[in-house]
Structure 1
């Protein structure tokens, strides 16, 4: 009897091991079958049937590039990459804001004394207004967390589109976008602060959520919107570490359509490439402090183009407030605003002419000409328009 009982126990144990092994295999298979969101870029025309044939669903399709957004398993991705029609299948990575609120400057409830922030004065933008040139009517798309559409210190602001919530109300639920918008175009009306180009027309294009992050696929949507709506400048105070062929193609095509694209170089403080700033079709901007020194957090390297003020920058903040912020996020809109001034002065210029002008007229901060730490130097608005 004892032998039979032991045999039954042994048999049960064997069955248990087999069952657990099967469950483990099933769990592994389920893990392997997990779908991930990707951006598929084709060499020529979009082939939705090809993606569907490989098991993918179609989430979004672009017009600015021959690409679409899909969800596929890793095995399906590997198979799709083998197609002669496909240029790349990239993960839908995430970009984030490149600015933080200073500890002593968050959301001041009342306007500070009428002033021009040090950054605007340092790049001689206030001298350009005397020409007169305020960038009047130049259309700037701010791809960010949105803009406070009712802030009394911002001039003409239109709601472009909210690609995070998919609606027409691109209001700001973070604060970062409003701050960047103010650096570009806060009114020169004797109240609050003044932006680099107080006469610009700002368009809020929300591609980042309330936490300040957004997928590359949505940023491409924002770039596409800017092209479709005849923007002249795209300002992106955001950055990601993933090099996406689709995002690069979108930037390249937008520039080919005549849009000047400006982006934050990143806050890594080293030479690690940040995107979209690292693309050749984008003007990459690093940050300086009030002594013209490169900010310690400011990324540098072979793709850096220009420097601009980015430390303790006072600008607009939601609900008619103001805040001090630091980051290459703050440097980027100083250059975007300067681009608007240049385009007002030279309305027929293309992006290559604008960028060349900014580089040739920049104030050298390090070695003569370009260097990896400060690019071509500190942007100079007055020299650029003159």
Structure 2
């Protein structure tokens, strides 16, 4: 029988008749259907609506919107969930759960000299922010003195800033308790007169502003993107942010603040958080910081994380602060990092060790500084009655996560051809190992290393995206039991069935234009779960999500793998033959999305052929002399690349799916004869072109 997740969550609530409970409903059809009468009869009040479009890789039933209702007590909420559980008009329903900020404490500036003489190795001019210069921002640069710590136990910010300092074309989201828009380290105008803070929104109460009332969101934003190199602020203070620009014409990355809390609370509901993620993604945020955590999963959050990736955003989530009591327990939504839906960040201290309070549940990716982290404070008195003088220090994984969000800002400012779920593997590959050799449960891949990250993402390294069509082979016969409804064939069989497990395998070789490794940086390759159409070989998952992995099999050779399940349960014989027996799809539709990132080299035979059985676009004639005709899906954007991987032209197919390239580059000059490549902008197919003289 089904163990419906929403019902299990509600049963964890003690019966408190006087306490109102909110539930999230995901209808398959219009809200003017018969199920609404059931909620009306129970006296539930509709509070909010969130339109949503699920990504193409979503495996469970897809709602068209999320609705938030309030019941006057837990009994009515329980009855409502029971009434909706088996409704054919409902994809799912769940109680809204709360998330709490992942902070431990905040302290005002101490009396140490704000502009102590810089160490002799520190550049004399940049950055000139006082709390960076005197060593208190140890997370950015740790000299070991005058404050406690070990020299070098930092994120290598100074070295990274010689390569990238962020730029205003890159937008980062902060889903939190709000922000102080008047904080000069955060707001203000850019060189073109436009505001640095944009698209602010309050999902907890859209009628109210995003002004922070407790300071948490303001500090998170400051760690991520406080203006760097803008000197002394607030008498003798001032901080640097990870991607805060150069103090001159570059103000760093823009900020989209989303408030998800009410009043002076440190808690937020999962509906408001899901809404905040989607708002920031819709506003163009490349990465979205989320420094909240809770003990139970939410389908609304999971759907929002997947949708954000489909909208070119990745969420960076704090791992939680339960390291003392239940460190290995899953904390949500960060635990969705195990499915590739976000990046989970724990906290390190100034001695390059995991902070004792930092949680290390499933899906931990890496650590970043989270003890005595200095950043921006509100410039007005908050709900606590305290007012800090422009800067404040705090501890918690809340303030480790924005180091990583800022790191993505630096990478995105350097290059814009990485996809949202490329950032997690890149950051893990670059992390500084601090625990047992290799990846481990308590520290993930290690501590964030900005210098190494930008080295691996350097402009002279090429990125290659592909979707591979795997071959499949029968590996085992067993069962599959999924705890969450929404898979049609399993729903018809009560959630459990006898299945065949088929191993999906797609070997691939690096394109000839990519070098296997260089002295400074090896070639990297990884799978992207969001675009793959295979699953994990887990016999009893709580829900189904796409999954794949890539392993190196030899020089320049890799293997992408995943799994398919085929229902062979005798009970399925009575079901509609049109109902697919394959999960998540038949073998001919299976795909494994992969990314390779490596140094460029001169190609000898061109890149590897498009891995899919048929490319999504065609070119003719090929070879060509005058104009080249391209055809495919209407609106597709294609890039023309030279042998070194540099883009020379870009073509958008018209409403009929047609386009032409006249052999000119973007400066309208004829390109020389030779070998070129046409590639989808999202990198999924490549076609080799030959231009004749």
Q: Shorter-chain-normalised TM-score: which range?
A: 0.7 to 0.9
1:203 corresponding residue in structure 2: 256
Distance 1:378 1:45 in 2: 46
SS at match of 2:322: coil
- Counterpart check, 1:59 vs 2:47: yes
Distance 2:272 2:111 in 1: 33
1:273 corresponding residue in structure 2: 330
Runs of at least 4 residues off by over 4 Å: 30-35, 44-48, 107-112
Kept after mapping to 1: 8 A contact 2:432/2:448:
yes
Distance 2:112 2:436 in 1: 43
Kept after mapping to 2: 8 A contact 1:41/1:89:
yes
CA positional deviation for 1:46: 5.3
Cα distance 1:146–1:53, how it changes in 2: closer, same or farther (>3 A)? same
Structure 2 gap ranges (5+): 1-14, 54-62, 116-129, 142-153, 188-195, 233-237, 245-251, 380-388, 456-693
2:573 corresponding residue in structure 1: none
- Counterpart check, 1:127 vs 2:159: yes
CA positional deviation for 1:48: 4.8
Matches within 5 A, 1:255-266: 255-266=309-320
Equivalenced residue count is 354
CA positional deviation for 1:214: 1.3
Distance 1:171 1:108 in 2: 26
- Counterpart check, 1:36 vs 2:36: no
**Can you list the C-alpha shifts for 1:82-139, whole angstroms capped at 9, x where unaligned?**
123433321111111111334xx23779994413211122111222222243344311
Q: 1:241 aligns with which of 290, 295, 308?
A: 295
Distance 2:26 2:113 in 1: 47
Distance 1:321 1:368 in 2: 41
Kept after mapping to 1: 8 A contact 2:180/2:378:
yes
Deviates more, 1:172-181 or 1:83-92: 83-92
- Counterpart check, 1:190 vs 2:206: no
Q: 2:428 aligns with which of 346, 349, 359?
A: 359
Distance 2:168 2:156 in 1: 17
Cα distance 1:369–1:338, how it changes in 2: closer, same or farther (>3 A)? same
Distance 1:344 1:216 in 2: 31
Distance 1:147 1:85 in 2: 39
Matches within 5 A, 1:299-314: 299-314=359-374
Cα distance 1:197–1:233, how it changes in 2: closer, same or farther (>3 A)? same
1:22 corresponding residue in structure 2: none
Relative to the length of structure 2, the TM-score reads 0.49
- Counterpart check, 1:330 vs 2:330: no
SS at match of 1:347: coil
Distance 1:136 1:40 in 2: 38
Distance 1:377 1:46 in 2: 47
Q: 1:106 aligns with which of 105, 108, 129?
A: 108
Distance 1:328 1:132 in 2: 25
Distance 1:147 1:91 in 2: 28
SS at match of 1:118: coil
Greater RCO, 1 or 2 (C-alpha within 8 Å, sep 6+): 1
Deviates more, 1:219-228 or 1:304-313: 219-228
Relative to the length of structure 1, the TM-score reads 0.85
Q: 1:368 aligns with which of 417, 434, 437?
A: 437
Kept after mapping to 2: 8 A contact 1:96/1:239:
yes
Distance 2:221 2:364 in 1: 22
Greater percentage in helix:
1
Deviates more, 1:126-135 or 1:356-365: 126-135
Matches within 5 A, 1:11-22: none
SS at match of 1:62: strand
Cα distance 1:350–1:48, how it changes in 2: closer, same or farther (>3 A)? farther
Kept after mapping to 2: 8 A contact 1:267/1:299:
yes
Matches within 5 A, 1:2-17: none
Cα distance 1:135–1:297, how it changes in 2: closer, same or farther (>3 A)? farther
Kept after mapping to 1: 8 A contact 2:282/2:311:
no
Greater percentage in strand:
2
Q: 2:354 aligns with which of 286, 291, 294?
A: 294
Kept after mapping to 2: 8 A contact 1:51/1:57:
no
CA positional deviation for 1:255: 1.3
Kept after mapping to 2: 8 A contact 1:107/1:317:
no
Matches within 5 A, 1:113-152: 113=115, 114-116=130-132, 117-121=137-141, 122-152=154-184
CA RMSD of aligned residues (A): 2.3
Kept after mapping to 2: 8 A contact 1:128/1:134:
no
Cα distance 1:33–1:268, how it changes in 2: closer, same or farther (>3 A)? closer
Kept after mapping to 1: 8 A contact 2:164/2:413:
no
Kept after mapping to 2: 8 A contact 1:125/1:382:
yes
